[in-house]
Structure formats: C-alpha cells, structure tokens
A and B are shown apart, each in its own frame.
Chain A
C-alpha cells in the first residue's frame, strides 16, 4: 500500500465540525449512489466561513481538491455522525487529515469507510503550516516533513487503523482477513 504522500496542505483551525466539512443542505445526497458521491466531494469543506477561509478547499466548478492533505487543530470532525463528512473529503481526493485531535465518530467513520487516514499529531501543525505549503507524510514512519524548511514532525502511528483504511474500510478489511465471507 502507498505509504508516502506528498502534496500541498489545506490548513484549518480548531473545532471544524461536520457542518463545515459538508454543509447540512447537501445531506440530501446519498453517498452510495456514485454520481452523488462525486458531488459530495465538490462540496467538501464548503461550509467553512469565507471570512476565515478565503481560499476554497475545492475550487468553484471543480469536483476534486488540489490539496490531498488537510491540517486541522483540536477536535476535528466534531458534531454530527454524518458519514458524508469523511466521504466528502475522500471524494474530493483528500487522503490524510493530520489534526491535533479528532472527534470520536468522525475518526471511526474515516476508518469504517476507508476514505482517508486520520492522523493525530501532538504538535499544532495548524499553527506552523499555511495553506499551499508542501509536505511529505510517511505513514510507515509516522512523520511529516515540511518541504520548504525540511523540518520533520512525528505523529501517532495509526496502528490497527492503518490496515483497515488500506483495505478500503471495514467490510473490505473483514473480507480480506476472513472475518466475513469473501463475497455475497
């Protein structure tokens, strides 16, 4: 599985709740319908107030983001249990969210869907990085390297979560490991 991801980051602050990740008005879209799944991606993080986040995560008219890595502060993904949140980020081609801490249900939904890797980093990267900075995340080493400065930060290794996301979520993992029959 891919372990190293390099790309520009999109930086948000503390308490980014699921309404800001995917606004409630787009919850009429059903994630298991392919066309609606893609649409969810186009609205990822569109709930962030423009006054605080003038750069959009997904440019107007695009379906996917140019930022494969999102940097957050404390309590990322708090609020509702809507699985549309990690799905919108995943559909927008976000691969990793690196935050100081995560809300419980969002973290679990990232793993269950296999949409992205939720990585916890004790350093407040949201104070260090700005949107557009390029980093390299190495999941095996649990490090993130800032391209411009060369500075390396460590994050909490994903442990048992990693193979589940690698497999593409809970059901794929369960089949792969023999917990469920291979096909139905």
Chain B
C-alpha cells in the first residue's frame, strides 16, 4: 500500500484497502474557520439537533483567519458565531481573535491595517497555525473546511478539504465516507540550487501534470530530495496538491517530522502520541515522475490557472503593478527570510505587501536580526507594506477593505497558491504565482524577474 492507502486502511479498521474502495474513515481532527465554520455549525445543528453535542470536543479545532481585519459587519459576526458555539460546546481548541470569551469582535478601522489588533490566543492562517499549535500528527486523518487543508500532508498524515455538509456530518459522527484515491508518485532527487525554493518544485510538478492532473488522486512526495527539504518546504509543496486537483499530498516521516511534531505538541499541550506510516515495498502508483531538484529554475504560474507554467527568466516582458508575499503557502518565516535576502538594502519599485501567516511569524521577523536591523525593519525599509495582522488577507480577495486586495484590474506577482480570475479581488485583475524570492526580485524591477539576478 502507499502512504495514503495505509493511513486510510488504519482509519477505517481494515487490514488493507486499495484505490477505488469506499471506506468509512474515522477523523482525528476536524478543523474549521470563520468562513465555513458558521455554515458547518448551521448544518450540524439543523441535522443533529439544537442541543446536540459534537462527537469529541478534543478533536475539533476552530481557527478564525479569513475575514478578520475588516469592517464588514457580517464577517465580524461570523467570528462571534464561532465563539458562541465554542462556549456552548466547551471546545478547548479555539484560537479566538479576542481574549474575552464573552466578548464580540469588531475591527477598529481607526487603528489602520498595519498594527496588530488581536488577543493572545489568535493563531493566524489555519493551515500554518495547525502544526504550530500541535494539531498535526503523523498517521492521522485531518479534515478541514478548506481546500488547502492538504498542507498537513507534510507531516505524514492524510489531510483533505471538505464542504460544510460533510464537515457538519463529521462534527456529529466523527467519520466520513471516502473513496481511496490512487497515488501519484513524485520522487524528488538532488538539492535545490540557490534562488530556487519549494514553491518552484510544486509549480514545476503542476505544470507537468496540469491543473487537473491529480483530480481524485493522492500525490506522494518522497526520495532523497524530499528528506533534504525543511518542514516549511514540505508544507509549501503539500499545500498546492489541490492546485492540481489532488485529494491530498503526503510526505514520508523522518527525524525532522518527529522533532517538529513532538516539540509543537508539547508546547501547546496537545495529544503527543501518534503512529507514522512508512513506505511498503509493494506500493502501486498510477503515475510516476522523478524530479531532479538541482535542475529546477525559478518558476512562475501565469494567469489564469496554476498549471500555466513558465520560467521566470523568460518572462521579463510581463509588467507588474504589485507584489504580494503571504498566505499559508508563502507567508511562513522561511518565506519572509528569502524575501528579505533579495530585498535587503534595496527598494521596491511597485506596491509590495507582506502578510505573515501567523502572529508567531510576525514575532520571528520582528526579533530576528541581520546586523543592526530586524528582518521586519529590512523589509519595511525596502518599501514593503508589512502588516502585523496575520491572516489570509488578500490571498483570496475577501471583503473590499482587505489589506492588499486588488480593487482595480491590476497585475500582481504573488507568493500565494491560486490565480484563477478574480482570486485576489477585482475579477479582471491578474495573478502570477511565484516563490517569495521571485516575488522579491520582481518587486525590485516592476516586471517578472529571476531572483538569481540578485544573488551575490
């Protein structure tokens, strides 16, 4: 069995499963957020009853992150709906925007968009917050009401996005009927050259198989090259499995995984025991591809879909209006460090926005020093508009007052994960996806630029 099949077999209580089997799978974690949580709660109450209790309160994680720093009253209300539900059910894992469990969330526009407006428990973008808060464990099943839930496959678990109705069912029943997906095998070899990042790996793979090349399938990333990737890098790769239509992306378990997961579970006092899955000798794959990481170059996915692959070096004629670094995919500490490495001591030519995925990343950037300055200050001095209000922000457009949202038909290069028409706001705007390093180099020139031009 493949890694995905082994996890699904275990979670459905079967000795073996194979691609195409329909199995009832027990959930280890159900995650939801402010955009789909209220609807999921609505389905749960409608179907299981107004006084029903969730199947296991320790297995539900609620992370408001999407439409937080907006004056939109319905969006503010949605965070309050989550809080009411958490109080009623006694759920321990709710990363609220405010500290008062009986309060109401209201974004104060007079304080501006850049300065922090959240309490001590707020965790930021759900997919980045889940591992930081110790909710991703090898061998487990994670369901989330968000397509990028597949990011947690970086931790050797089965993680996939589901809709509100399915999530409402899981909330009450703790399980879900799934079809076992066939596995596509991506064997990674070698090491990335300077200027190349994990984003380039996944954009390369999606370009190879196409925007729907993994529909109904699992994407397994392994091999020597995968073992050399950092946890952040694995998260970036797994995150975008959905951009090829994949059901999940998954990595092998190793010492890096163990160290990260053990530390994070301990830090937040979450469940610390887990059982990883290892590769079998008899894995059957529906597709195989070898990726030599040493041959990859800075890669871009052009408007209007993540499968429109080109090399950054061939795109210097593409003029840009703005640049954006942020989101689950591209807003991690390591992403901002590479962004800063290119921008250090220089000045951006176009409007450039930086949105760290989580408050912890804000803290990292505000405390990490390169010489006299913090990384945060280096970015601000380079002309980047950095906000402390960690969250999904303009990656998915959001309400019109969202930080960095394109409210005009502009062209943006972005370290985010999706670029269908209108994704970052105005429906005639265009998004080009690239690594934080490529976004940085492009911000310096105002056109798509290979970051290797700026490596000393």
A and B from one assembly?
yes
The answer to whether A47 touches B422 (Cβ under 8 A) is: yes
Contact among B39, B72, B162, B427 with A47 in the assembled complex (CB-CB below 8 Å): B427
Q: Does B349 contact A (CB under 8 A)?
A: no
Which residues of chain B are near A83, meaning CB under 8 Å? 36, 39, 163-165
- Contacting residues of chain A (71-104) with chain B, CB-CB under 8 angstroms: 74-75, 78-84, 101, 103-104
Q: Does A149 contact B (CB under 8 A)?
A: no
Which residues of chain A are near B247, meaning CB under 8 Å? 104
Which residues of chain A are near B67, meaning CB under 8 Å? 27-28
Complex Cα spacing A29 to B397, Å: 15
The answer to whether B49 touches A108 (Cβ under 8 A) is: no
Q: Does A134 contact B (CB under 8 A)?
A: no
Complex Cα spacing A184 to B51, Å: 10
Shortest C-beta distance, B84 to chain A (Å), equals: 13
User: Known contacts being A27-B67, A81-B145, A184-B48, is A169 close to B215, with CB within 8 Å?
Assistant: no
| A to B contact number (C-beta, < 8 Å) | 140
Chain B residue with Cβ nearest A82: B36
Which residues of chain B are near A128, meaning CB under 8 Å? none
User: Known contacts being A25-B400, A28-B72, is A15 close to B165, with CB within 8 Å?
Assistant: no
Which residues of chain A are near B161, meaning CB under 8 Å? 80-81, 105
Complex Cα spacing A171 to B42, Å: 13
Which residues of chain B are near A125, meaning CB under 8 Å? none
Q: Does A137 contact B (CB under 8 A)?
A: no
Q: Can you report 22 residue pairs joining A to B where beta carbons are below 8 Å apart?
A: A15-B211, A17-B418, A19-B421, A20-B421, A23-B422, A23-B427, A24-B397, A27-B35, A28-B78, A30-B38, A30-B39, A32-B42, A33-B42, A50-B427, A81-B145, A83-B39, A103-B215, A104-B247, A109-B163, A113-B165, A171-B169, A184-B47
Residue positions of B touching A, CB distance < 8 A:
35-36, 38-39, 41-43, 46-49, 52, 66-67, 72, 74-75, 78, 81, 145-147, 149, 161-166, 169, 211-212, 215-216, 245, 247, 304-305, 396-400, 418, 420-423, 427-428
Residue positions of A touching B, CB distance < 8 A:
15, 17, 19-20, 23-25, 27-33, 47-51, 74-75, 78-84, 101, 103-105, 108-109, 112-113, 169-171, 184
